[in-house]
Structure 1
Amino acid sequence: MQVTLLGTGDTTGTPTPGCDCGTCERARELGVERSRFSIHVENERTGESLLIDASPDFRHQFLTEDVPLPDAMVISHIHFDHLDGLGNAYRLFDDLPVHAASEVDPATGESVAGTIRDKYDYLDRITVHDHAPFESFETCGFDVTLVPVDHPPLVCYGLVVETDGAKLSLTGDTSYDLPDRSKEALADPDLLLADAIVPASLCEHHPIGGNHHAPDGTPRTFGTKHMTREGALALADELDAGRTRLVHLAHFYPPGEAFEEPLAIDGERYELR
């Protein structure tokens, strides 16, 4: 499988519009970008491709990167930076399968699949397919599994994508507090894409600080919803990831750290075999 990182940023992206911080200025100098989150996975055996999350930057991403339009999508959760690009299905697709979890969210009274079905009821070009967490389904020649993670107050899912012995794991938007069963599902990937919104040093600026501290006191969660860089790397070690790229990155990383390994930028490509 060929994995292309179309969008590696958080909700505002980097550079952030109207921002002249050192990190945004450095991104402009380097000519790099972190648009809103989206991952393209191509099955070279079948010639099909799967899009993980529909970024609001959908149009820009597909004009910028040399990848085919997807044959199907998977949506991890209903925050706008992962969902609102779905409106691009209008006039681009005849019938686009969209896969999402069937589990009802206590916070909304609706599943991710149900929310998509209701919110995009005007789109006759998409067909929503409901799937239970941990129950693998096939799309684009891949075996795909939705894996519950911890992103309060909404339900959210990581993903496992497998084919021909290759395994891609995505943590989705999550704190460090993943359920043990989810860690088991995500474990031993060839490539791990892990949410790492900021470095742990910035937890002092969050209203509630950090959480899930390491033995040395380093917070592995920023607030309640996202892992720190240090938390994501600790999880990668625990999952025994073959390779790790950190994604869903905010422009709050200090400029001297913001583009260092293993922090990803848009356009990176990985061949998994």
Structure 2
Amino acid sequence: MRVTLLGTGDTTGTPTVDCDCDTCAEARRRGVERTRFSVHVRNDRTGESVLVDFSPDFRHQFLTQAVDLPDAGIVTHIHFDHLDGLGNAYRLFDDLSVYAANETDPATAESVADTVARKYDYLDQVESRPQAPFEPFEVCGLEATLVPVDHPPLRCYGLAIEDPETGAKLSLSGDTAYDIPARSREVLAGPDLLLADAIVPASLCEHHPLGGDHHGPDGVPRTFGTKHMTREGALDLADDLSAAETRLVHSAHFYPAAEAFEEPLAVDGETYDL
């Protein structure tokens, strides 16, 4: 299983448009990007691939990264930076199955799968495939399981993808605060590679109107505001899940330039063979 990180940034990406902060300037100097989130997972046994989340930067990502167009997709939640790239299915695919959770979200009165079907009903190529959380489903010869996480006010899901023949496992935290339910953690546990949402370092919580939450034993906040993990929270989650390797994703350009490109913060284009 080959994992390619197509997009490793938050909703504005790094460099951010019309931003001259030190971090965006350093990204330009290094020639690196963190576009909006998306992950390409190829099953080397079958030659098929699945795309996790459809970034608005879909076109740019597939023009600049050496990956094939996916045979299927999985959507974790309906925020713009994870879904709106699905419009690129027009003229690129004959058909595309898109898997998403079937739970009704009280905030929207529909499930993620319902939103995919409604929003892209004009695309005959797209077929929304509702899935029950915690129930594994087969996609491209791999086994995938969506699990609820904590990203108020919307329902959002983490994801485990396993190769049933080799045992290789990829886990994605999804967009989430540190307060991931225990049952979800059980599904995500023990990955060869964990991709964990780490929007900013914990030191920036003092600048958030709501501060930070889910403090560790050292008093450091593991959640920034209410929706995303801090770097420290994501690393604690990696320890909790006994991840063999961890890459921090969905990071914002608010990281100080001196910290923004340090390990284990990911940048676009990284590949991992599991």
What is the TM-score normalised by the length of structure 2?
0.99
| Residue 13 (structure 1) aligns with | 13
| Residue 205 (structure 1) aligns with | 207
Shift of 1:216: 1.5
Matches within 5 A, 1:1-273: 1-163=1-163, 164-272=166-274
* Distance in 2 separating the partners of 1:234 and 1:215: 11
**Superposition RMSD on alpha carbons, in Å?**
0.4
* Distance in 2 separating the partners of 1:215 and 1:139: 40
* Distance in 2 separating the partners of 1:198 and 1:116: 29
* Distance in 2 separating the partners of 1:246 and 1:39: 13
What is the TM-score normalised by the length of structure 1?
0.99
Q: Which amino acid aligns with 1:114?
A: D
* Distance in 1 separating the partners of 2:237 and 2:249: 14
* Distance in 2 separating the partners of 1:100 and 1:253: 31
Q: Which amino acid aligns with 1:147?
A: V
Shift of 1:84: 0.1
* Distance in 1 separating the partners of 2:63 and 2:140: 22
User: Sequence identity, in percent?
Assistant: 74
Q: Secondary structure at the match of 2:97?
A: strand
Q: Secondary structure at the match of 1:62?
A: helix
Unaligned residue ranges in structure 2 (runs of 5+):
none
Unaligned residue ranges in structure 1 (runs of 5+):
none
* Distance in 1 separating the partners of 2:206 and 2:119: 37
Q: Secondary structure at the match of 2:77?
A: coil
Shift of 1:217: 1.0
